[in-house]
Structure 1
Amino acid sequence: MMPVTLIKTIVFTIFFGLFFIGCYSQEIAKPAINDTAYDKWPYLKDPAITPDGKYITYTVYNASKKSDTVVLKKSKGGWEVKFADIYYSQFTSDSRRAVLIDTANTLYTILLGSAYFDKTLGVHYFKIPANGNGEWLAFKHVKKEDMVLVNFITKKEMIYSSVSDFCFSDDGRILLYVIDDPNCPGEQKIVWRNLEKRKDVIVWCGRRVESIFINGFPSVAVFITTDEAKNSKKIWYYKESSDMPVLLVDQNIFGSNREFALDNILKISADGKYVFFTVTKEEKINDRKSESSIVKIWSSQDPKLQLTEVSDLHKDRFGTMVIDVDSRRVTILREDNELILGSSVDDAMHLVERIPEEVDLEESIRNENFFSNFYIRSADGQLDMLLKFKGPHIAAISPNGKYIVYFDNEKSEYVSYEIASGKYRNITERINTSWYGYYFKDIRDRPRGIATWTKDDESVLIYDRFDIWMVDPNGIKDPVNITSGFGRQNNIIFYLGLATYSNRIVLKGQPLLLNAVSIDTKENGYYEKALGKDVAPKKLTMGNYIYQLIDNPYVMRNGIYPLKARDKDAFIVVRMNATEYPNFFYTGDFINFYPISTFQPEKSFNWYTTELHSWKTEEGEALQGVLYKPDDFDPKKKYPVIFHYYEKKSFELNDYLIPSYLNNGCNIDIPTYVSNGYLIFLPDINYVVGDPMTSTLSALTSAARYVERLPYVNKGRIGIGGCSFGGIQTNYLVTHTNIFSAAYSSSSMSDFVSAYGSITRGGKSLQAYFEPGGQGRMAGTLWQAPDMYIKNSAVFNADKAITPLLLMHTTNDGLCPFSQALELFMALRRLGKRVWLLEYTEGNHHIEGKSAVDFSIRLKQFFDYYLKGLPAPAWMGNLKL
């Protein structure tokens, strides 16, 4: 007989073993992702941090409940509170409180770090000063026409009756409010309350006040009044300690022209010298275009196509004007067909681009006869100068308004224009580098652009393909590579890492945060470099994450700029990778990161992992791609594979894909497919401009040969698919190779010849899509390269198609005409090929709602039949594999 202790040991061992096996089984037997799981994923938004960096807030959107929850917490953990159904929140400037309002009109005032909060019912909205000492809060009730002013320090409340509008100055010294007063002519008055001195000044009595606007220091108020009987507006100006406001602008500035009307106030310059406002213009209808007739006249002399002109007929036009407060001079700063590209910090000088109004935007980009013009305009109206360069161009104005710096496309150099002297200077001719960005190298060379400026406009920082240069706008001092060539040497692309760098100067000796991404490994992170010191950038963090992929056009969720606290080096960042949800993190040094949110919805499902693979084409070109595998991957199994492509996908290695019915409204949802037993491969494609589909064929066939050699791949069950340009590629592949078992093509084109002469449903020509700079990459017109247009068109080789093809298109596609899908379908149908066309009457290029659900089901059934051998659905007809 065994001793009792031994029996207990054996029983315990068996129990523990069974318990471990049970737990382990539960761990590995996670459910596959399906449509019931999609609303399990939260969406994080609206991060904010107190000025002192000690507290943080963010919002969680719950898809299943369709509600927002605001989270308030200490930056490094500890204290945390949550409030449901909040639609707006704000920290006070002293970092002591948060003010929130929910959808039920309840106002909450929370003392940060404590369990204390105030609750007020029936609040319409609130305002607190952006800066100052955090002393004041004002709010309006929903039903009562009053304003409540709260002093957080004295804990006193003051109620002002019949208030229709109010606002604080940025520094919190002044409260400006509009009050109904029957004793005033017009029954409204504006009150200027100095909160420091507790002194009220009646600024104005009169007719209806439409809007009020207040500046910081010096304290200036601007407001608009409306005469409804005359249907006219007036803009008034008031400066602290003035006896009365002065009329700045009324309808008389337009003379007898009644097409124009004052619209709204945009801003006041920081020094109070200029007031910027918008105007509207009712567009007159061109009689020739608007007449009711049985005929539409299309002419080669029309700069715009007929459908475009018709859509523009009744559009209200907007423009921006500015008034010099001292001289009362009004200047047109921007007309409807113009853009303000930049302004000096004092708002005195402005760089404006004029896009020819009479032509389509696509025409203005590709036809030098319709290129944009660039102007320097001063707010005082003294300067309105046409610059000698024409667009498309990258151009910027210096902070002090001394220079315009632009990229000369013909010379591939940066040129400065000194406004005072009128001199143009080539400022980069001594630098041997490429200014063009990496991401667009095989579509159209585009310079990465201007990063920022140093103090007093002394230097401009400019990006080359990898690094950052400090350049003298006078062209005298030697240029300096501030990243010491480290980017080019290591295939790393550097960007300035904070959004604030682009709208303010940087100082020499100042440590600059640099965003970095490795082209080879796809790692992302941060470096630091002190401006003016000749040393290599210092690595802070770099890894298999996405913090932010700046300017990367290939990754949809490419992160955000770090959000900095106003008074401290404290930051909120987003960090994600393929297996870690994009959570918020706190950091003070970009070395140590503290989790703010800790969501892990992927842990509840059979998720995916990613691998970066490399191979070579038959021509010896090295390519990369991303392979997606399920968590429960078994190397002894044979998996079907679907190839998905669009431009370059390898940068999605560390992207976190949130499951949904469709990806981007037209593609397979990768998490769902991988979770249900598929492998997905995303290959890069390097395009030859002029022959892009041959490049596609080379990349995809070489990728297929590489992947099918992997021991866990079922080489007889490989599918392909893409949307838009990816769909165009699918159509070509189906008609040029038989190595794939099934294919889908969404919202695509199949005939470059007919498409070149087509227009979209919005009346835009498709010619620019194929010509130089367009995604179609045909390098020229149809008449310059007719053979290449035919060669790259799938429909001309429809008789070669073997692979079963599922087409999806929306009836009202505004980019790729439905006729393109129909043309390929009709050809394949006539030839007796296996093809289906799903036409959705709702949606435009992409689909959502019930259409997305329907397509996702049919697309899965299609692949399950051809790649997994499951029964064919009834809508596919009677088939044999």
Structure 2
Amino acid sequence: MPKYLLLLAGLACQPVLAQQAPKKPLDHSVYDQWQSVANQRISHNGKYVLFQVKPQQGDGVLYLKTTGNKTLRQVSRGDSALFTADSRYAVFSIKPRYQDVRQARIKKKKPDQMPKDSLGIYTLATGKLTKYANVKSFQVAEEASAVAFLALKPTSKDSVKKAPVDTVKKITDRLLEVKKDGAPLTVINLINGQLRTFESVTDYQISKLGNKVAFAVSAPRGSKTVKSGLYVYDLATGTLRKLSSGKGVYKNLAFDDAGKQLAFTAEKHPEKALVKPFSLYYSDFGGDSARLLAAPSANGLKKGWSPSGFGKVVFSDNGEKLFFGTSPDPIPQDTTLVDFEHAKLDIWNYKDDYLQPMQLKTLKKDLQRNYLAVIYPRQAGKFVQLEDEYLRDSFVAEQNNAEYVLAVTDTAKRVAMQWQGSTLKQAYLVSTRTGERLAINPKAAKSRFQLSPQGKYVVWYDFESKNWFSYAVASHQTTNLTAKTKVAFADEENDSPEDPQPYGVAAWTKDDAAVLIFDRYDIWKIDPRSGAATNFTSGVGRRDKLIFRYRMPVEKQKFIEPKDNLWLLVQNETNKQWGFYKKNIASTAAPQPVAMGPVGYSPLLQAKHADEFVYTKSSVSQPADLYASRDLRQETKLSSINPQQKDYNWFTAELVHWTTPKGFPATGVLYKPENFDPAKKYPMVAYFYEKLSDGLYKYTAPAPTPSRLDIALFASNGYLVFTPDISYTIGEPGPSAVEFVNSGVESLKKNSWVNGAHIGIQGQSWGGYQVAYLITQTNMYAAAWAGAPVVNMTSAYGGIRWESGMSRQFQYERTQSRIGATLWEKPEVYIRNSPLFSLPKVQTPVVIMSNDADGAVPWYQGIEMFTDLRRLGKPVWLLQYNGEAHNLVKRENRKDISIRELQFFDHYLKGAPAPVWLEKGVPAVEKGRNWGLEISKQ
């Protein structure tokens, strides 16, 4: 055939070949490029949106767009972005390049030598972007176009606007070498462009209205131009005032809402002083300096108590009250003690409120513990102590002008936390005028208390009666809010020994007129004073098996306004679809459907002054992209992440149903490869953790796993993945897994396209325990992977959850482990549910991940399983990631386990050659040089 005919023939075939070319399976090289949308914001006027598109590892991009999808700017590595209140500017940090940070870490640079952030200020109307280098932190005034930021070293002439020569101090590297000397603070009025910089600032605060900035200065040793103290800069007049002089520590700087009052804590003791209590200072800018409002052991304070340097300082909304923390003076350290000459030990005492491990976990917090107090600066410093050692947890109303704060205590009731997992609590209202305490519940109870936004009511869920109650502050009247509804407001599907949890409170209406409370399906609108209740969703939820939920979409909105439309997030319980319904808060009509489909939504984010929303929407095959809309029907797509997905073999998801041997209806999700062929047989991996079917339409990106199953990776590589929901019988956590998982697998095995001889199981934590149990009860699985499993409930029962310091007893008696009794009450139940005692039955090859820094499941549980199976001659491997927690945190470890997990199942379910780590292992002498991931030659 002539050459030109051969060429034409080749060209003619190319389109056909291109159309038929198979998509690639996902592999471990794709993780870093997979993107997600994050940190979306909408301007108050509803015209502009900003959001990040972030790869899993590497440099992200900040997008500034109109809600009509016009791109205004793309900023590489933009982060932590905010709009100013007037919707005229966007302010954001610019992170260093990932590769620059990586190289600095390789070179083991010190923290002060690492690459620094920059600050970007973008003018939305003109498109002008101004950058400032080496920025440590920044603040934007909540209701004004004013910015303040700390820089870490001199900024270059090319990247920073110069301030007037007479108002800016020269910044030198020498000053920054002494960390306590602080850093330069720059303050910018974005409207008129006025800029000033101040040296050696250690802390700062911009007022809500942007009219003032307060900052603390720590002067460098020997400086003649910089003086230590607390200063206030007035942006309107350009004037600078010193309110407090002298070296010391200035903290908790706080303005009132109007920017007309300032308070702060400070200690100015000599550097070598052994005890350095703080004092509280105040200024209304009427005098030359701040006045001392509360000093150590001042009138009203307990003897030996002082204002705390760790307590937050906050003015009430009306500026009349000043909340702050007090605490006992710190115990001076004995400087005569020689470290190597005294004992180091922890003393456990049965009378301790908290176990020693819990005390050590909260040690820093306890050393900083302070007790809420209030003072009235304009009333001759009238002082009221609100909390003390007995009553040490309080909550201030959103509208914090309210007379009372809510205080809750479990003092003398904490020991039972060891086996209950929670404590009984008593609640009080404490008067901010007199300190009077009003008991809300006469005896300690298991309850959750909250204060209404205006402070007119306390509401709580009582676990014993399973009802919601209210307490009216004005009348001292207690009202049962839910008894007459004849509907359950606690988890109707609870399958643990623990009391069922409430579905929760949605929101309050203006003036505390009504509270919205969830039942399983519907939302109830209830008068907290009378208890009059109406089904706000008109019973549509329970009738149609729709789960209605609501979260206020406007940032920092405290309550529902009288004419607000409520956009209700809804899930269909039967088919798992998501959508939105709409109803006006004042309407008596049923909510109206707006959107519903096989997708998942994020909560709505609404512009403060416009009916414009942004949200993400996704499905199994559709990444969670960002959208803008006014009505959730007509929407504008703002992002298009992960275009590379089209090149890879993806997957589908479908609900499956079956009936268990005991007659329970069961549900799960089956994931199939996108190129699924019913004429073929596929290996399958079952992955489980409690119930997962609500995530049917969740987008799952391929990602290095913390020890769970990467569904995207496995499905793309020719596996079926099955996630069965498990319901539990108390006292039978292991048999319950057998009941649901095994029957679900058997049901799917009836399909000709399931390879019944090549099925594996995988689980992490609680799922890991169930994997361990299942392989002692059946040999139907060809391979198993158990992450952080408990195998011996008798030894785990008395252990410690080291992340929290809590005893593990509550978990077995009350919560997830579901035994429902102590070890000595029902030892046979603990033994029967412990895989350890049935390990001789195991024939399934199993990999265990058990890490030496696991704070949830004792590391020795995995060791027990490994050493016993090893002794029994069973095929077993243990992966112990050094210094890692219950779920892997370090990305390099997540990548490593992802590779091993696929290698393991490929070997046992697909017949692939075994890697070296499976076949031969990796000796300790080769650790760090050989990972055993290559295929064994034997």
For the aligned pair, the TM-score class normalised by the smaller chain equals: 0.7 to 0.9
Q: CA deviation at 1:228?
A: 3.7
The match for 2:431 is 378
State the Cα deviation string for residues 245-288 of structure 1 (Å, max 9, x = none): 4322222345652798433543221111222234565787999x
User: Which region of structure 1 is more displaced relative to structure 2, 482-491 or 204-213?
Assistant: 204-213
Q: Describe the shift of the 1:450–1:121 C-alpha distance in structure 2 as closer, same or farther (beyond 3 A).
A: closer
1:234 corresponding residue in structure 2: 279
SS for the counterpart of 1:67 is coil
CA contact (8 A) 1:72 1:82 kept: yes
> Partners of 1:284 and 1:497 in 2: how far apart?
46
Q: Find the aligned partners of 1:463 and 1:185 in 2 and give their Cα distance.
A: 58
- After superposition, the Cα gap between the structure-2 partners of 1:204 and 1:666, relative to the gap in structure 1 and judged at 3 Å, is same
1:639 aligns with 2:690: no
2:617 aligned with 1:575: yes
Name the structure 2 match of 1:3.
none
- Match in the other structure for 2:506: 451
Q: Is the 8 A contact 2:497 2:813 kept in 1?
A: no
Query: Deviation at 1:719?
Result: 0.7
Structure 1 residues 499, 97: CA separation in 2 closer, same or farther (over 3 Å shift)? closer
Tell me which of 647, 650, 674 is aligned to 1:604.
Answer: 647
Contact 2:23 2:648 survives alignment (8 Å): yes
State how 1:479-558 maps to structure 2 within 5 Å: 479-500=533-554, 504-548=558-602
- Helix, strand or coil at the partner of 2:899: helix
1:731 is matched with which residue: 772, 786, 793? 772
Contact 1:545 1:575 (C-alpha < 8 Å) held by counterparts: yes
Q: Residues 416 and 427 of structure 1 are in contact (CA less than 8 Å); yes or no, is this contact kept in structure 2? A: yes
Letter in 2 for 1:96: R
Correspondence list, 1:125-136, <5 A: 126-132=138-144, 134=145, 136=146
Moved more, 783-792 or 714-723: 783-792
TM-score by length of 1: 0.87
C-alpha contact (below 8 Å) 1:185/1:207 kept by paired residues: no
User: Helix, strand or coil for the counterpart of 1:863?
Assistant: helix
Q: Which residue number in structure 2 is paired with residue 210 of structure 1?
A: 250
Indicate the residue corresponding to 1:275 in structure 2. 322
Given that 1:347 and 1:379 are in contact with CA atoms closer than 8 Å, whether structure 2 keeps it comes out as: no
Q: In the TM superposition, what is the alpha-carbon distance from 1:328 to its structure 2 partner? A: 2.5
Q: Is the 8 A contact 1:725 1:748 kept in 2?
A: yes
Q: Give CA deviations for 1:378-404 in whole Å, capped at 9, x if unaligned.
A: 333433333325343222212232221
CA contact (8 A) 1:282 1:316 kept: no
Amino acid at match of 2:576: K
The AA in structure 2 aligned to 1:275 is L
Distance 1:33 1:707 in 2: 25
The match for 2:523 is: 468
Q: Structure 1 residues 682-691 or 597-606, which shifts more?
A: 597-606
1-structure distance, mates of 2:555, 2:518: 14
CA deviation map 1:204-248 (0-9, x unaligned): 252247243222237322233431416343322222556764322
Further displaced range: 727-736 or 569-578:
569-578
User: Counterpart in 2 of 1:399?
Assistant: 453
Q: Is the 8 A contact 1:356 1:364 kept in 2?
A: no
Question: What amino acid maps onto 2:781 in structure 1?
Answer: F
The answer to which of 176-185 and 245-254 deviates more is 176-185
One-letter identity of the residue aligned with 2:208: D
Partner of residue 346, structure 1: 400
Q: What 5-or-longer segments of structure 1 have no aligned partner?
A: 1-7, 549-560
CA distance in 1, matches of 2:820, 2:476: 37
Q: Please state how far the C-alpha of 1:484 moved relative to its aligned partner.
A: 0.5
State how far apart, in whole Å, the 1-side matches of 2:849 and 2:230 are: 61
Shift of 1:728: 0.9
Q: CA deviation at 1:759?
A: 3.2
Contact 1:47 1:56 survives alignment (8 Å): yes
Greater CA drift, 295-304 or 823-832: 295-304
Distance across 1 between alignment mates of 2:80 and 2:818:
45
Match of 1:36 in 2: 29
Once the two structures are superposed, residues 698-717 of structure 1 have per-residue CA deviations (whole angstroms, 9 ceiling, x without a partner) of 11121111111222111111
Q: Please give the alpha-carbon distance, in whole angstroms, between the structure 2 residues aligned to 1:295 and 1:474.
A: 54
Shift of 1:632: 2.3
Residue 736 of structure 1 deviates from its aligned partner by 0.8
* Corresponding residue for residue 808 of structure 2: 766
Q: How far is the alpha carbon of 1:724 from its aligned partner?
A: 0.8
Pairwise CA distance, 1:806: 1.9
2:296 to 243, 251, 256: 251
1:318 and 2:402 are equivalent in the alignment: no
2:166 matched residue in structure 1: none
Structure 2 vs 1, CA of residues 116 and 837 (structure 1 numbering), >3 Å: closer, same or farther? Answer: closer
Q: Is 1:792 the counterpart of 2:833 in the alignment?
A: yes
In 1: Cα distance, 2:39 partner to 2:472 partner = 41
**Structure 1 residues 423-461: Cα deviation after superposition (integer angstroms, max 9, x where no partner):** 322232211101013675556411112222223323222
SS of match in other structure, 2:847: strand
SS at match of 1:796: helix
Distance 1:15 1:307, change over 3 A: closer
- Three-state SS of the structure 2 residue aligned to 1:580 is coil
Whether 1:262 aligns to 2:309 is yes
Partners of 1:365 and 1:391 within 8 A in 2: no
Q: 810, 829, 836: which is aligned to 2:870? A: 829
Q: Is the CA contact 2:481–2:526 (under 8 Å) kept in the aligned structure 1? A: yes
Q: What code does the residue aligned with 1:60 have?
A: V
For 1:110, which of 122, 125, 134 is the aligned residue?
A: 122
| Matches of 1:545 and 1:839, distance apart in 2 | 38
Deviations 1:845-881 (A, max 9, x none): 22234443443333323212211112233444489xx
1:628 shift after superposition: 1.3
After superposition, where does 1:317-336 map in structure 2 within 5 Å? 317-325=368-376, 326=379, 327-333=381-387
Larger deviation, residues 405-414 vs 338-347: 338-347
More strand by share: 1
CA contact 2:353–2:412 (8 Å) conserved in 1 = no
Encode CA deviations 1:98-154: one digit per residue, 9 max, x unaligned.
Answer: 23443466544333254443455566655442214x4x4555664345666555555
Q: How far apart are 1:313 and its partner, in Å?
A: 6.4
Which segments of 5 or more consecutive residues in structure 2 lack a partner in the other structure?
A: 96-115, 155-169, 172-183, 335-339, 921-935
Question: 1:131 touches 1:170 (CA, 8 Å); kept in 2?
Answer: yes
Q: In the alignment, is residue 76 of structure 1 matched against residue 68 of structure 2? A: yes
1:60 matched to which residue of 2? 53
TM-superposed CA distance for 1:841, in Å, is: 3.1
Pick from 846, 856, 861 the counterpart of residue 815 of structure 1. Answer: 856
Are residues 108 and 872 of structure 1, via their aligned partners in 2, closer, same or farther at CA, if it must alter by over 3 Å?
closer
Q: Percent of aligned positions with the same letter in both sequences? A: 28
In structure 1, the residue corresponding to 2:279 is in which secondary structure? Answer: strand
Q: For 2:6 and 2:125, locate their aligned partners in 1 and report how far apart those are by CA, in whole Å.
A: 51
Q: Distance in 2 between matches of 1:472 and 1:11?
A: 84
Residue aligned with 2:547, SS: strand
- Shift of residue 363 of structure 1? 2.8
Relative to structure 1, the CA distance from residue 487 to residue 248 in structure 2 (aligned partners, 3 Å threshold; closer, same or farther) is same
- TM alignment of 1:625-704, pairs within 5 A: 625-662=668-705, 665-704=706-745
> Alignment partner of 2:885: what SS?
coil
Partner amino acid, structure 1, of 2:426: N
- Map 1:84-163; keep pairs closer than 5 Å: 84-103=76-95, 106-112=118-124, 114-119=126-131, 126-132=138-144, 134=145, 136-137=146-147, 142-143=153-154, 144=170, 150-155=188-193, 157-159=194-196, 162=199
What is the RMSD of the two structures over their aligned residues, measured on CA atoms? 3.6
Q: 1:379 to 1:259 in 2, by over 3 A?
A: closer
Q: 1:282 to 1:804 in 2, by over 3 A?
A: farther
Decide whether the 8 Å contact of 2:507 with 2:552 is kept in 1: no
